[in-house]
Structure 1
Amino acid sequence: MAPRASQLLGPRVRLCSAGSSWDPGCACAAPAAPVARVVDFQVTSVHYYPEFNMSAASPSNNSLIKTVASKVPFSDLCSTLEKIQKSRSRPDKNKYFKDFLDSWRNFHNTLHKNDLNTTDSFYPALRLILPQLERERMAYGIKETMLAKLYIDVLGLPKDGKDALKLLNYRAPTSSHGEAGDFAVIAYFVLKQRCPNKGTLFVQDVNEHLDSIALNNAAKKKDLIKKSLLQLICQSSALEQKWLIRMILKDMKLGISQQTIFQLFHPDAAELHSVTTDLEKVCKQLHDPTVSLSDVSIMMFSPFRPMLAAIANIKHIEKLMHNQSFYLETKLDGERMQLHKDGDVYKYFSRNGYDYTQQFGDSPLQGSLTPFIHNTFKSNLQNCILDGEMMAYNPITQTFTQKGNKFDIKRMVEDSELQTCFCVFDVLMVNNQKLANETLRKRHEILQTLLTSVPGRIQVVEKTEIKSRKDVADALNEAIDKREEGIMVKDPLSVYKPDKRGEGWSKIKPEYVDGLMDELDILIVGGYFGKGHRGGMVSHFLCAVAEPASPGEKPSVFHSLCRVGSGYTMKELYDLGQKLAVHWKPYRKRDPPSNILCGTEKPEVYIEPCNSVILQVKAAEIVSSDMYKTGCTLRFPRIEKIRDDKDWHDCMTLHDLDQLHDKASGKLASRHVDLDDEELDKKKRKIPSKSKKLIGIAEQFKAQDLSSVDKVSNIFEDVEFCVLNGLEDHPKAELEKGIAECGGLVVQNPGPDTYCVIVGTVNIRVKNLIAANELDVVKADWLVDCLQKKCFIPWQPQFMIHMSPCTEKHFAQEYDCYGDSYYADVDKSHLREIFKRMSKPEHHLPFKAIADLEQRYLWDASPLCMFRHCIVYVDLYTIIGDASAKVHGTSLDLRVLELRFHGAQCVTNLTEGVSHVVVGCDARRLSELKLLRMTFERKFKIVLESWVTDSVKAGSVQDEKNYLL
Structure 2
Amino acid sequence: MQKSITSFFKPKIEPQSSILQDETKSNNTPKEDSPKTKKKDVKKEVSPIKNEMQKEEVSPAASTEAMDVVEDDSPTPSKPKMMQLNAEVDKNDVGEMYDPSMDTYHPLKQAYWKDQGLTPYLALARTFQVIEETKGRLKMIDILSNFFCSVMMVTPNDLLPSVYLSINQLAPAYEGLELGVAETSLMKAIAKATGRNLAHIKSQTHLIGDLGIVAEQSRVSQRMMFRPKPLNIRGVFSKLREIAKISGQSKITLVYDVFVACRFSEARFFIRSLIGKLRIGIAEQSLLTALAVALVKKNHIKDCKISKVSDVYKDEIAETTLILKTTFCQCPNYDIIIPALLKYDIKELQTRCPMHPGMPLKPMLAQPTKGVHEVLERFSGMHITCEWKYDGERAQIHLNDSGEMSIFSRNSENNTEKYPDLIARSKAILKTNDIKSYIIDSEIVAWDLERGQILPFQVLTTRKRKNVDIATIKVQVCVYIFDLLYINGNSLVTKPLSERRKLLFEYFQEVEGEWKFANALNTNDMDEVQQFLEESIKGNCEGLMVKTLDEEATYEIAKRSRNWLKLKKDYLSNVGDSLDLVVIGGYKGKGRRTGIYGGYLLACYDAENEEYQSICKIGTGFTDEDLRAHSEFLSKHVLSGAKSYFRYDASLEPDAWFEPVQVWEVKCADLSLSPIHRAAIGIVDSDRGISLRFPRFIRIRDDKNAEHATDANQVAHMYQSQDQVKNNQKSANQMDMENDFY
What is the deviation of 1:193? 1.1
Question: Does structure 2 retain, via aligned residues, the 8 Å contact 1:618–1:637?
Answer: yes
In structure 1, the partner of 2:623 is 569
> What's the CA shift string for 1:791-825, capped at 9, x where partnerless?
xxxxxxxxxxxxxxxxxxxxxxxxxxxxxxxxxxx
Partner residue of 2:221 out of 193, 216, 230: 193
What is the deviation of 1:613? 0.9
Q: Which moved more, 1:401-410 or 1:280-289?
A: 401-410
In structure 2, the partner of 1:595 is 645
- Corresponding position: 1:544 with 2:603: yes
Residues 49-64 of structure 1 correspond to what in structure 2 (within 5 A)? Answer: 50=115
Question: Does structure 2 retain, via aligned residues, the 8 Å contact 1:333–1:403?
Answer: yes
Residues 374-385 of structure 1 correspond to what in structure 2 (within 5 A)? Answer: 374-377=427-430, 378-385=432-439
In structure 1, the partner of 2:251 is 225
In structure 2, the partner of 1:418 is 475
Cα distance in 1, alignment partners of residues 508 and 659 from structure 2: 59
SS at match of 1:213: helix
Compared CA separation, residues 510 and 198, structure 1 to 2 (3 A): farther
Cα distance in 2, alignment partners of residues 581 and 563 from structure 1: 18
- Corresponding position: 1:653 with 2:707: no
Compared CA separation, residues 264 and 573, structure 1 to 2 (3 A): closer
Which protein shows a greater Rg? 1
Question: Does structure 2 retain, via aligned residues, the 8 Å contact 1:276–1:304?
Answer: yes
Cα distance in 1, alignment partners of residues 383 and 256 from structure 2: 62
Cα distance in 2, alignment partners of residues 516 and 376 from structure 1: 36
> What's the CA shift string for 1:545-575, capped at 9, x where partnerless?
234347xxxx3x3222210011133333322
Cα distance in 1, alignment partners of residues 697 and 421 from structure 2: 39
- Corresponding position: 1:368 with 2:425: no
Partner residue of 2:165 out of 124, 128, 133: 128
Residues 805-884 of structure 1 correspond to what in structure 2 (within 5 A)? Answer: none
- Corresponding position: 1:620 with 2:657: no
Question: Does structure 1 retain, via aligned residues, the 8 Å contact 2:394–2:442?
Answer: yes
In structure 2, the partner of 1:823 is none
Question: Does structure 2 retain, via aligned residues, the 8 Å contact 1:614–1:648?
Answer: yes
Cα distance in 2, alignment partners of residues 140 and 466 from structure 1: 49
What is the deviation of 1:466? 0.9
> What's the CA shift string for 1:393-412, capped at 9, x where partnerless?
21011112221336345736
Cα distance in 1, alignment partners of residues 227 and 569 from structure 2: 56
> What's the CA shift string for 1:881-935, capped at 9, x where partnerless?
xxxxxxxxxxxxxxxxxxxxxxxxxxxxxxxxxxxxxxxxxxxxxxxxxxxxxxx
- Corresponding position: 1:637 with 2:695: yes
Look up the equivalent residue of 1:207 and give its one-letter code. Answer: F
In structure 2, the partner of 1:606 is 656
Compared CA separation, residues 222 and 540, structure 1 to 2 (3 A): same
What is the deviation of 1:243? 0.7
Identity %: 21
What is the deviation of 1:204? 2.1
Gaps of at least 5 residues in structure 2 are 1-69, 96-105, 293-320, 680-688, 728-742
What is the deviation of 1:130? 0.8
Compared CA separation, residues 229 and 643, structure 1 to 2 (3 A): same
> What's the CA shift string for 1:207-227, capped at 9, x where partnerless?
1221122212xxxx3322222
In structure 2, the partner of 1:388 is 442
Residues 181-330 of structure 1 correspond to what in structure 2 (within 5 A)? Answer: 181-194=209-222, 200-216=230-246, 221-266=247-292, 267=321, 268-288=323-343, 290-292=345-347, 293-295=349-351, 297-313=354-370, 314-330=372-388
Partner residue of 2:112 out of 20, 36, 47: 47
What is the deviation of 1:256? 4.3
Cα distance in 2, alignment partners of residues 107 and 568 from structure 1: 45
Residues 786-801 of structure 1 correspond to what in structure 2 (within 5 A)? Answer: none
Cα distance in 2, alignment partners of residues 234 and 294 from structure 1: 43
Question: Does structure 2 retain, via aligned residues, the 8 Å contact 1:517–1:668?
Answer: no
Compared CA separation, residues 353 and 195, structure 1 to 2 (3 A): farther
Look up the equivalent residue of 1:241 and give its one-letter code. Answer: A
Cα distance in 2, alignment partners of residues 133 and 515 from structure 1: 46
How many correspondences in the alignment? 593
Look up the equivalent residue of 1:572 and give its one-letter code. Answer: D
- Corresponding position: 1:141 with 2:180: yes
In structure 2, the partner of 1:472 is 529
Compared CA separation, residues 489 and 667, structure 1 to 2 (3 A): farther
Cα distance in 2, alignment partners of residues 668 and 534 from structure 1: 40
SS at match of 1:315: helix
What is the deviation of 1:510? 1.2
Cα distance in 2, alignment partners of residues 569 and 369 from structure 1: 42
> What's the CA shift string for 1:427-472, capped at 9, x where partnerless?
1122222211111001111100112210221112232101032222
Gaps of at least 5 residues in structure 1 are 14-21, 31-40, 52-67, 110-119, 170-174, 361-366, 670-965
In structure 2, the partner of 1:748 is none
What is the deviation of 1:231? 1.7
> What's the CA shift string for 1:491-528, capped at 9, x where partnerless?
00201121011141111111111132222122111111
SS at match of 2:531: helix
Cα distance in 1, alignment partners of residues 725 and 378 from structure 2: 28
SS at match of 1:449: helix
Cα distance in 2, alignment partners of residues 473 and 596 from structure 1: 42
What is the deviation of 1:576? 2.1
SS at match of 1:369: helix
- Corresponding position: 1:399 with 2:453: yes
Cα distance in 1, alignment partners of residues 591 and 239 from structure 2: 27
Cα distance in 1, alignment partners of residues 659 and 134 from structure 2: 45
SS at match of 2:328: helix
Look up the equivalent residue of 1:130 and give its one-letter code. Answer: I
Compared CA separation, residues 128 and 374, structure 1 to 2 (3 A): same
- Corresponding position: 1:438 with 2:495: yes
What is the deviation of 1:624? 2.5
Look up the equivalent residue of 2:705 and give its one-letter code. Answer: D
SS at match of 1:122: helix
Question: Does structure 1 retain, via aligned residues, the 8 Å contact 2:119–2:155?
Answer: no
Using structure 2 for the length normalisation, give the TM-score. 0.73
What is the deviation of 1:26? 4.4
> What's the CA shift string for 1:152-181, capped at 9, x where partnerless?
4554544554x53112x2xxxxx3xxxx44
Question: Does structure 1 retain, via aligned residues, the 8 Å contact 2:667–2:696?
Answer: yes
In structure 2, the partner of 1:698 is none
> What's the CA shift string for 1:728-751, capped at 9, x where partnerless?
xxxxxxxxxxxxxxxxxxxxxxxx
Cα distance in 2, alignment partners of residues 522 and 428 from structure 1: 44
What is the deviation of 1:270? 2.1
Cα distance in 2, alignment partners of residues 520 and 145 from structure 1: 38
Cα distance in 2, alignment partners of residues 42 and 12 from structure 1: 32
Look up the equivalent residue of 1:575 and give its one-letter code. Answer: A
Cα distance in 1, alignment partners of residues 707 and 633 from structure 2: 18
What is the deviation of 1:262? 0.9
Question: Does structure 2 retain, via aligned residues, the 8 Å contact 1:329–1:462?
Answer: yes
Look up the equivalent residue of 1:275 and give its one-letter code. Answer: Q
SS at match of 2:631: helix
SS at match of 2:360: coil
Compared CA separation, residues 519 and 385, structure 1 to 2 (3 A): same
SS at match of 1:499: coil
Cα distance in 2, alignment partners of residues 44 and 632 from structure 1: 63
* Higher-RCO chain (CA-CA 8 Å, sequence separation at least 6): 2
SS at match of 1:514: coil
Question: Does structure 1 retain, via aligned residues, the 8 Å contact 2:187–2:198?
Answer: no
Compared CA separation, residues 650 and 145, structure 1 to 2 (3 A): farther
Look up the equivalent residue of 2:368 and give its one-letter code. Answer: I
In structure 1, the partner of 2:636 is 582
What is the deviation of 1:73? 1.9
